[in-house]
Amino acid sequence: MSGVGVARQAGVVKIFDAHCHLQDRRIASVAPQLIRTALDSGVQRFVVNGVSEMDWHIVKQMGDEYPSIIPCFGLHPWYVNERSPNWFKSLREFLAETPGAAVGEIGLDKGAHAKNIDFGEQVDVFRQQLELAKVLEKPVSVHCLRAFGDLLEIMLSTGPFPAGVILHSYIGSAELVPGLAKLGSYFSFSGHLTSMKPEKAKKMLKSVPKDRILIETDAPDGLLSVKTSSSFPFPDVASTAETENQFGDSAAEATSLSKEGLNHPANIHRVLKYVATLLEMPEEELAELSFQNATRLFSYPGSKVNSDG
């Protein structure tokens, strides 16, 4: 596995997966194959986000082993109830011991998955981590579901954030974009975008400053669902058979996962195609734009990423 690094293939469009979870137990056992398949397809870097104290060590190990992986450590709102009394001290230690790491995934959630997690506790945990990211001058990846008013209020009282706040899998309104962007937000798009009506998604996408657009998979979640309308037909994407033919045996695990409804980083090409269609922009242009944005964002001191990409 140590030979799996950063892809450098002539003629392959460079893509930066700005948010995924390769340490997730549903795909961790096949992560080497998934990384190889994605690298072969042009995905050069993966931002792997920890979600609780239970997986930070796995994320760190992955970051140490793979040049292409940018590790992130954070306490996700779904795991607030499981935190230990020393969770924040441990988080700071992981970040201190891993100069190349960013902060994430953190956030706020008022959805069904978090209905039994006290929102006041979520806010306390979120605010501590957001402030830590600002002090460390590191970008921070944020999950927000049905809590954008609270998010904006907290960011206004804590920000701005010159190192960047990544609003991952953003499906908020177009009206919120200017205020969030002013505070230092980047907007990252995944297959979750298909949960929005295409017309609404297009309006929102066109409201995002071009230098704040990122592309991600959120693997193993965020698998793109096929939605069509008379105005926005879903673009054709490569079949799993075509993927196997193009990328060889290493794609077998990825194909199997897709059939199981699980996502993997090589599927970022599907996200790229869908977002480019809504933006009425060539895929290659969007790939280059989002790659430059992510490279700039993750070029903080100590990072593996060089500002020249």
Q: What is the pLDDT of residues 117-161, one digit of tens each?
A: 999 999 999 999 999 999 999 999 999 999 999 999 999 999 999
pLDDT value for 1: 39
With a cut of 80, say whether residue 251 has pLDDT above it. Answer: no
Rounded Cα distance between 186 and 293, Å, is 9
233 in a domain, yes or no? no
pLDDT band at 264 (very low <50, low <70, confident <90, very high): very high
Closest CA to 43 of 73, 5, 78, 81: 5
Express as a percent the part of the chain with pLDDT over 90.
82
Please state, in angstroms and rounded to a whole number, the distance separating the CA atoms of residues 45 and 147.
Answer: 30
1, part of any domain = no
Question: Residue 215 forms beta bridges with which residues?
Answer: 189
- Can you give the pLDDT at residue 7? 44
Helices (H), the chain: 31-41, 56-65, 87-97, 119-136, 148-158, 177-182, 198-207, 240-247, 252-259, 268-279, 283-297
Asked if residue 255 has pLDDT above 80, the reply is no
Annotated binding-site ranges for a divalent metal cation? 19, 21, 105, 143, 168, 218
Q: pLDDT at position 267, please?
A: 95
Q: Establish if 7 belongs to a structural domain.
A: no
Counting the structural domains of the chain, the total is 1
Other CB atoms within 10 Å distance of the CB of residue 206: 12
Name the binding residues: 19, 21, 105, 143, 168, 218
User: Which residues are CB-contacts of 230 (< 8 A; sequence separation ≥ 6)?
Assistant: none
Q: Residue 166 pLDDT more than 90?
A: yes
Q: How confident is the model at residue 263 (pLDDT cuts 50, 70, 90)?
A: very high
Tell me the percentage of the chain whose pLDDT exceeds 70.
84
Tell me the average pLDDT across 248-254: 55
Q: Is the pLDDT of residue 28 over 80?
A: yes
Q: How many CA atoms lie within 13 A of 250 on its CB side?
A: 18
- pLDDT of 244 higher than 50: no
Whether 279 is covered by a domain: the verdict is yes
Domain membership of residue 89 (yes or no) is yes
- pLDDT (average), residues 62-82: 98
Q: Looking at residue 306, what is its pLDDT? A: 67
Q: Residue 195: which residues within 8 A CB-CB, separation 6 or more? A: 171, 225
What is the end-to-end Cα distance of the chain in Å, rounded? 23
Q: pTM of this prediction?
A: 0.90
| pLDDT tens digits for range 215-242 | 999 999 999 886 544 455 544 444 444 4
Single out the residue of 172, 174, 133 nearest to residue 151, CA to CA: 172
User: Residue 71, preceding bond cis, omega within 30 degrees?
Assistant: no
Residue 105: asked if its preceding bond is cis (omega within 30°), the reply is yes
Distance CA 38, CA 215 (A): 14
Which pLDDT belongs to residue 228? 42
Q: What is the mean pLDDT of the chain?
A: 89
Q: pLDDT tens, 184-195?
A: 999 999 999 999
* Sign of the four-CA dihedral 104, 100, 181, 227: negative
Residue in 208, 224, 207 with CA at minimum distance from that of residue 216: 224
Please report whether residue 243 resides in a domain.
no
Q: What is the mean pLDDT of residues 159-184?
A: 97
Q: Residue 274 pLDDT > 80, yes or no?
A: yes
Q: Are 291 and 15 in contact (CB under 8 A)?
A: yes
Cα(66)–Cα(68) distance, integer angstroms: 5
Domain coverage including residue 150: 24-228+261-298
pLDDT value, residue 265: 96
Q: Is 10 a member of any domain?
A: no
Is residue 117 in some structural domain? yes
Residue 172: CATH number of its domain: 3.20.20.140
